[in-house]
A and B are shown apart, each in its own frame.
Chain A
Amino acid sequence: MPDTIRFTLNGTPVNLETDADRTLLWVLRTDLERTGTKYGCGLGICGSCTVVVNGRPVHACQIDLEFVQGKEVTTIEGLAQDGMLHPIQQAFHEHGAFQCGYCTPGMIMNAYALLLENPRPTREQIVAGMERHLCRCGAHKRIVEAIEEARHA
């Protein structure tokens, strides 16, 4: 018996008839065709699948649709507005704060939530706030620099 799931995705209402226990990550990537959110570990420990739900970063691989019922979900596809990059995206681009780009959506979404909560983080707070995100290419230095720049934007 499918459930009715309603939430807001990047400002647009979503209405799904499906099982409420399905995982948000896979529903985003399949039914909703938002493939910017990536699978990395499936255990909520690498951060690649980070999306923002009601202003808080969550691991989309760890939450089901029930959790987002009635909430506002923002994914990497929802940050740029009217063809203009969000300041965090712009800063990542300017600083070359990515290499392969696979962890990048999760990094940016976490940084976005970090700055929502604390618009003027110190460098230490940025490092602590990004600590649970993994980047294999080693773009860490530039990611921190990009977030430092975005906090002034």
Chain B
Amino acid sequence: MRNAACIDRRDFVKSLGGGILVVVHLPMTSVLSPSEEEQRRQRGYPEDINAYLHIAEDGSVTLYSGKIEMGQGVATSLTQEAAEELGVALDAIHIIMGDTDTCPRDMGTFGSLTTRMFGPAVRAAAAQARLVLTDLAAQRLGVPRASLVVENGVVYVTSDRSRTVSYGELARGEQITHTVDERAVLRAVEEFTVMGRSPKRLDGIEKVTGQAQFAGDIRRPGMLYARILRPPAHGATLTRVETAAAQAMPGITVVNEDGLVAVLAADPEAAETALALVEAEFDVPAPTVDTERIFDHIVRAVPEPETAEQGGDLEAGRRQCTQTFEATYYNSYVAHAPMEPHAAVAEITDGRATVWSSTQAPFSQQSTIARAIGFQPEAVRVITPYVGGGFGGKVPGQQAVEAARLAKITRKPVQVSWTRGEEFFYDTFRPAAVMQVTSGIDIEGRILLWDYHVYGAGSRGSGVFYDIPNRSVRVSGEWGRAPDGMHPFAVGAWRAPAANSNRFAAEQQIDMMASAADMDPLAFRLRNTTDERMIAVLEAVAEASEWKPAVAPRRRGRGRGLACGIDAETYVALVAEVTADPMTGVVRVERVVCAQDMGLVVNPDGARMQMEGCIAMGLGYVFSEEVRFEGGRILDTNFDTYGLPRFSWMPAIETVLVANDDLPPKGGGEPAIINMGAVVANAVFDATGARVYRLPMTPERVRAAIGG
């Protein structure tokens, strides 16, 4: 593997021509938390992080990124990091993302890892390039390097600014490949001129003019659009298929090979018409679970739990408590529902496949595609255009495999673009989950007991950051390694996987104890944590939201909630203000304030966009999003019944970035969404006195909670 990568790289260097190429390897362990490192090893992800930065002979700078852009704004923030360290203007750098032929191998764009993991490699590469270039400049100008200064890609002699040489002039005639194995000296926060600022997004012009290309926008000469026969339910088997009528349509190609039944045409509508003419019969197994029965099933289907955390003595803790609390929380399956359904275009020429794919993981798709069509991985190139939203749902790459198989069979370029129905059917849903919690406090409102068991979701977000002497966290069924039969269809990572489920339960349980202790929810949390970063975000959100101490519930139809958590090494606290109508069960979120400590912030406005996006997206799983099903049959297949958040739902949103420049950048894409369930539920409790234990909190469930 390692050798193959080296060979690739040699070809790549040759293809660049002259100039200066800096290649960086950093050990991934330097940026991953222990639990993330454990996951990395379990999944077999690579051990190092690579970044390539090239300064061509004309002075143009290209940053090669294995990470991709799916809306999170990293095309901009990574370019900022490179520009800062290299000493060039932002617009002097071109970034190429997710092209397996030219970009460094990468495990995938997920886990809020781009800024905290790939960012350091980019900065190191750019800082090293600056060193190489200033060394060359020192030779050229006959002065020591220390007497030089760089501005906008031009090296000046500090004492005589008429003596200059540009990066382009320095790179001309050079063919230097520089490999960095350790961190170069980076610029300090006080020196920043590009990082820490909020330039307009580099993908903005393309995206507001319709020029931005997504996978489904790729056109190749002679390309056919494919529509594929799908089963009515997961677990169904095809028993009979008759394609003659479709075959008889002019311009239609029919494929029926190894279970892949597809019709292809030069016009996607013609393919659609032809698919309707394919007669098929399936055996559909009788459903044994459905939207309501799934929770009992998940609890029954569990393997032995894994202990994620253990401390003290639960029984002793229980005896010391003056009050104990038992509750069970639930959440249903949730779809990723990116606005762009999965799409791919595959073309095979001269024994080499090129696949344009809507994916978060181009390198793993390269291997998957290669296996599926019997090619060597080097003979498959995956190119990632702009991705229209991922949220964890665009990792497996089924559509790219389908396109590649069909391209191989038909010997034509093929586009596979899923319909919305296919998107809902093949989505790797956020798993349904059950969280059982027993906790207890003493007379002074100190938490002495925390006995937590999560089924179906996984461990992320279940860590105990309150100072609880007697605690146990058990996890049955990690989302990535769920036992067979636990879920009736595929599940996967959904923006901060497992954390949304775990925080929904944990932060409601905390709130429940605060109320029983007759304490203000903020004061209760502060009494039970000594973690300085947590205290800082709690105090910041309290200040920004003008929090006044009060004990919940106040039962005034209006209420406020508080919730906090840690995700991707970022600390986050939110306050939500709601109105709740006890007659209808309709809850409206009027205001959300979110404070976040994410370490050094590369692009503050970009960070705020992610926080706002988390809050807006989170309202969906809070109020309406729930994939209904009967066995393997998915009942929600479009947005008519699967309700996404809408403009009228939007609260006033305020975001606070808690300064922590001494800490390297932490994750930003996911943390702010993890507490949306609890923060709204806690506000509903304050408004009505009723606890809602199940997500989504539909009006019926809220009304039932109030009535009961």
Whether chains A and B associate is: yes
Q: From the candidates B338, B419, B648, name the one contacting A100 in the complex (CB within 8 A).
A: B338
Which residue in chain B gives the minimum CB-CB distance to A102?
B388
* Minimum CB–CB distance for B69 against chain A, Å: 8
Known: A137-B617, A138-B645. A100 touches B208 (CB 8 A): no
Whether, in the assembled complex, B203 has its beta carbon less than 8 Å from a beta carbon of chain A, the answer is yes
A116 at the interface (CB under 8 A from B): no
Residue from A94, A137, A142 within 8 A of B389 (CB atoms): A137
Partner of A138, one of B201, B338, B614: B614
Cα-based distance from A134 to B638 in the complex (angstroms): 12
**CB-based contact A128/B648 at 8 Å:** yes
A39 to B201, CA, bound (A): 24
* Closest beta carbon of chain A to B91's beta carbon, Å: 15
CA distance A35 to B212 in the complex (A): 9
Give the segment of B23-31, B70-78, B433-441, B552-560 that binds chain A.
B70-78
Known: A100-B71, A135-B339. Is A93-B205 also a contact (CB below 8 A)? Answer: yes
CA distance A128 to B650 in the complex (A): 12
CB distance from A99 to the nearest CB of B (A): 3
Kindly name the residue among B71, B205, B337, B640 whose own CB sees the greatest number of chain A CB atoms within 10 A.
B71
Q: Which residue of A lies closest to B617 (CB)?
A: A138
A46 to B210, CA, bound (A): 17
Judge whether A76 and B209 touch: CB under 8 Å.
yes
In whole angstroms, how far apart are the Cα atoms of A59 and B478 in the complex? 41
Q: Which of B203-221 contact A (CB under 8 A)?
A: 203-214, 216-217, 219
**CB pair B613 A85 closer than 8 Å:** no
Establish whether residues B640 and A45, one from each chain, have CB atoms under 8 Å apart when the complex forms: yes
Number of A-B contacts defined by CB within 8 Å: 169
Contact mask for chain A residues 131-147; partner B; CB cutoff 8 A; 1 contact, 0 none: 10111111111111000
Chain A 25-56 interface 0/1 with B at a Cβ cutoff of 8 Å (1 = within): 01001100111111111110110100000000
Known: A38-B340, A85-B209, A100-B389. A140 touches B650 (CB 8 A): yes
> Does the CB pair A100–B386 fall under 8 Å?
yes
Smallest CB-CB separation from B340: which chain A residue?
A: A102
- Cβ of A99 and Cβ of B644 under 8 Å apart? no
Contact across chains for B647 and A80 when beta carbons are under 8 A apart: no
How many Å lie between the Cα of A144 and that of B653 in the bound state? Answer: 13
Would you call B45 an interface residue if the criterion is a C-beta within 8 Å of the partner chain's C-beta atoms?
A: no
B609 at the interface (CB under 8 A from A): yes
Q: Are B212 and A45 in contact (CB under 8 A)?
A: no
Interface residues in B256-279 by Cβ distance below 8 A to A read 266-269
Known: A46-B339, A75-B210. A139 touches B609 (CB 8 A): yes
Q: Does B646 contact A (CB under 8 A)?
A: yes
Q: Is the CB of A92 closer than 8 A to any CB of chain B?
A: yes
Asked if A22 is at the interface (CB within 8 A of a chain B CB), the reply is yes
Q: Is the CB of A140 within 8 A of B616?
A: yes
Residue ID in chain A nearest B204 by CB atoms? A93
Of B200, B267, B640, the residue contacting A26 (CB under 8 A) is B267
Q: In the complex, how many angstroms separate the beta carbon of B572 from the nearest chain A beta carbon?
A: 15
Q: How far is the CA of A35 from the CA of B215 in the complex (A)?
A: 11
Q: Tell me whether B419 and A138 are in contact (CB under 8 A).
A: no
B210 to A94, Cβ gap below 8 A? no
Contact B338 A80 (CB under 8 A): no
A139 x B217 contact (CB < 8 A): no
- B613 surroundings in chain A (CB, below 8 A): 99, 137-139
Query: In the complex where A134-B644, A140-B650 touch, is A102 in contact with B338 (Cβ < 8 A)?
Result: yes
Any B CB within 8 A of the CB of A69: no
Q: Which of B48-89 contact A (CB under 8 A)?
A: 70-73
Q: Which of A38, A76, A92, A101 has the most B CB atoms < 10 Å from its CB?
A: A101
With an 8 A cutoff between CB atoms, is B615 at the interface?
Answer: yes
| Interface residue B298 (Cβ < 8 Å from any Cβ of A) | no
Q: Check B209–A79 contact: CB distance below 8 A.
A: yes
Task: For the complex formed, measure the closest distance between the CB of A69 and the CB atoms of chain B, giving whole angstroms.
Answer: 18
- Interface of chain B residues 385 through 440 with chain A (CB within 8 A): 386-389, 391, 417, 419-420
* Contacting pair B647 A133 (CB below 8 A): yes
* Residue contact B640 to A127, C-beta cutoff 8 Å: no
Nearest A-chain residue to B209, judged by Cβ: A80
Which B466-487 residues have a C-beta within 8 angstroms of A?
Answer: none
> Judging by beta carbons under 8 Å apart, are B609 and A96 in contact?
yes
Closest-by-CB residue of A relative to B650 is: A140
Residues of B near A133 (CB, < 8 A) are 647
The answer to whether A142 and B216 have CB atoms under 8 Å apart is: no
Q: Cβ of B203: which chain A residues have Cβ within 8 Å of it?
A: 101
**How long is the Cα–Cα vector from A38 to B71 in the complex, in angstroms?**
16
Closest to A140 in B: B650
Judge whether B445 is part of the interface by a CB distance below 8 angstroms. Answer: no
| Residue of chain A at shortest CB distance from B391 | A136
The answer to whether residues A96 and B605 also contact, given A36-B211, A101-B212 and a CB cut-off of 8 A, is yes
Which residues 6-29 of A have a CB within 8 angstroms of B? 22-23, 26, 29
Q: Which residues of A contact B206 (CB under 8 A)?
A: 101
A137 & B647 in contact (Cβ 8 Å cutoff): no
- Across-interface contacts of A35 in B (CB, < 8 A): 210, 213, 216-217, 219
Q: Does B12 have its Cβ within 8 Å of any Cβ on chain A?
A: no
Q: From residue 97 to 127 of chain A, which have CB atoms closer than 8 A to chain B? A: 98-105, 108, 127
Does B339 contact A140, Cβ atoms closer than 8 Å? no
- Please indicate the chain A residues that have their CB under 8 angstroms from the CB of B511 in the complex: none
- What's the nearest-Cβ distance from chain B to residue A100, in Å? 3
Query: Are B339's CB and A103's CB within 8 A?
Result: yes
Provide a sorted-by-A list of 15 A–B residue pairs whose CB atoms are within 8 angstroms. Answer: A35-B216, A35-B219, A36-B211, A46-B639, A85-B209, A89-B208, A96-B606, A101-B386, A127-B647, A131-B646, A134-B644, A138-B613, A140-B647, A141-B650, A144-B647
Nearest 6 pairs between A and B by C-beta? A36-B210, A138-B616, A100-B71, A102-B388, A101-B207, A76-B210
7 extra interface residue pairs, beta carbon distance < 8 Å, beyond A93-B201, A139-B609: A35-B216, A39-B341, A79-B209, A99-B72, A99-B389, A128-B648, A137-B339
